[in-house]
Structure 1
Amino acid sequence: MSNALGEIPLVHVQNVSKHFGEGETRVDALRDISLKVHPGEVVALLGPSGSGKTTLLNVIGCITEPSNGWVSLDGEVVYDGHWLRSDLRKLRLEKIGFIFQFHNLLPFLSSTDNIAVVLSLAGFDKDESKRRAIELLEYLEVGHRKDAMPANLSGGEAQRVAIARALANRPRIILADEPTAALDSERAGIVMDLLRKVAVEQEAAILAVTHDEKIFNRFDLIFHLRDGRLDDQDI
């Protein structure tokens, strides 16, 4: 964990709450959450079903608007009682990469094109998009599968391509929702080692929701959520 004293966190959440509904139907999904994730850190969000893990990940990912609180991403305050950016899609493209339990690769595109399409959305031209995509596949040690279709990839290979896609626009914040749940122990370890490599070499912050006990020892910090509240943290 590379947490230098005074280092500005890439993810900084203060007093964030989120409720759905009002009156008797109100559900408090998050209650006064505060946390920080620094460059180079790989951090887990743990908790039982319904504890608020995915809601918190979606708040940090600028998908779900909090009911109140304050959120800073990569040194920019993005929420302070309301969103401070009008184009949240652009904000996500600039700052955040998403990894999911299932790779969600487009089945009709090759590994390279699954990554290049994200870069095209961000405004890169076709040649630059493909060059960057192949560079990322090589970085994650699946360059030899650059022309393969998703149906022909192993589970571990598909998840590496999905990680490459998440890194396409060079975000410094990676949000992962159960990134190893569909993998066996060996492949899960490989994926976590790759995420560690990304965190250290690209000075990124990685925040993962997980129930996967076989990877608990791979995290710098574990945040425990229960009933929307944050318990003490374990290192």
Structure 2
Amino acid sequence: MTVDTRRVIVNVANVSKHYGEGDARVDALKSVDLSVHAGEVVALLGPSGSGKTTLLNIIGCIIDPSAGKVILDDELVYDDRWLRGDLRKLRLDKIGFIFQFHNLLPFLHAQDNVALVLKLAGKSSAEAQRRALELLDYLEVGHRKDAMPALLSGGEAQRVAIARALANSPRIILADEPTAALDSKRAGIVMDLLRKLAAEHYACIIAVTHDEKIYDRFDKVFHLRDGQLDRGEAM
């Protein structure tokens, strides 16, 4: 598939987030603008408390902005209020999440961990299992489909988690410290997979990270400090 790199998949416009009022007010984000295009893999860097996770959670439709607009995959989803009533379905439709720790359900084997997301989206059990195995094979862990999470290596578990994030073919993949629990070799493999996924699935990937060993795998790096975002630098 040829990716139209001109297409903006995530567009955050003048987004702010504050907690409390008056003397107790804390501004977590201040008039943030961010655009990420199809096929791009970008990083959000910054010290603890700079607003990285807050911004990721706003893009993920998990917390409310205090002001601004959020456009996801050509749909205006927030304009001073959420414009969809069912945010859970919005997340299922548009967004995949990858975390530092795989967060796989310990009582389900690898294939069922992936299939569960598809079932929640309304797929039949047979279709969910077929798609789950297809994704595990694509990520080269299909041979571990019957393994319980406790028996997977760190790299295998993270690949299963990536398969779960891709289950509903989201255009947006949000990753919170996706390689922090991996050694340098496995971190590089995971980032190369994410780059491949962005290109082949016409998606964008936004990662919060402190992992210096993967900085060269990003197309662009944005820095957050005191709730303000820079314009980003190409890598």
TM-score, normalised by the number of residues in structure 2 = 0.97
Question: Secondary structure, in 3 states, of the residue corresponding to 1:97?
Answer: strand
Q: Which residue of 2 aligns with 1:53?
A: 52
Q: Which residue of 1 aligns with 2:226?
A: 227
> Deviations 1:146-180 (Å, cap 9, x if unpaired)?
11100000000000000000000110100000000
Shift in Å at residue 137 of structure 1?
0.2
Q: Which residue of 1 aligns with 2:20?
A: 21
- How many residue pairs match? The answer is 232
Q: Which residue of 2 aligns with 1:101?
A: 100
User: Are residues 1:75 and 2:78 paired?
Assistant: no
Shift in Å at residue 31 of structure 1?
0.2
Equivalent position amino acid for 1:153 in 2: L
| Equivalent runs, 1:71-220 vs 2, <5 Å | 71-220=70-219
Q: Distance in 1 between matches of 2:24 and 2:162?
A: 38
Contact persistence 1:96–1:173 (CA under 8 A): yes
Q: Distance in 2 between matches of 1:77 and 1:231?
A: 23
Q: Distance in 2 between matches of 1:187 and 1:22?
A: 44
Q: Distance in 2 between matches of 1:34 and 1:40?
A: 19
Shift in Å at residue 225 of structure 1?
0.1
Contact persistence 1:52–1:228 (CA under 8 A): yes
Contact persistence 1:175–1:207 (CA under 8 A): yes
Q: Percent identity, aligned pairs only?
A: 73
Question: Secondary structure, in 3 states, of the residue corresponding to 2:159?
Answer: helix
In structure 2, list runs of 5 or more residues that go unmatched: none
> Deviations 1:7-66 (Å, cap 9, x if unpaired)?
231000000000001111111000000010011000000000000000000000000100
Q: Considering only aligned residues, what root-mean-square deviation do their CA atoms show, in Å?
A: 0.8
Q: Which residue of 2 aligns with 1:35?
A: 34
In structure 1, list runs of 5 or more residues that go unmatched: none
Question: Secondary structure, in 3 states, of the residue corresponding to 1:10?
Answer: strand
> Deviations 1:72-113 (Å, cap 9, x if unpaired)?
000000001110001000000000000000000000100000
Shift in Å at residue 3 of structure 1?
6.3
Equivalent position amino acid for 1:84 in 2: L
Question: Secondary structure, in 3 states, of the residue corresponding to 2:8?
Answer: coil
Equivalent position amino acid for 2:86 in 1: D
Q: Distance in 2 between matches of 1:64 and 1:222?
A: 23
Q: Distance in 2 between matches of 1:133 and 1:108?
A: 17
Contact persistence 1:3–1:41 (CA under 8 A): no
Q: Distance in 2 between matches of 1:56 and 1:105?
A: 24
Q: Distance in 2 between matches of 1:18 and 1:147?
A: 43
Question: Secondary structure, in 3 states, of the residue corresponding to 1:109?
Answer: coil
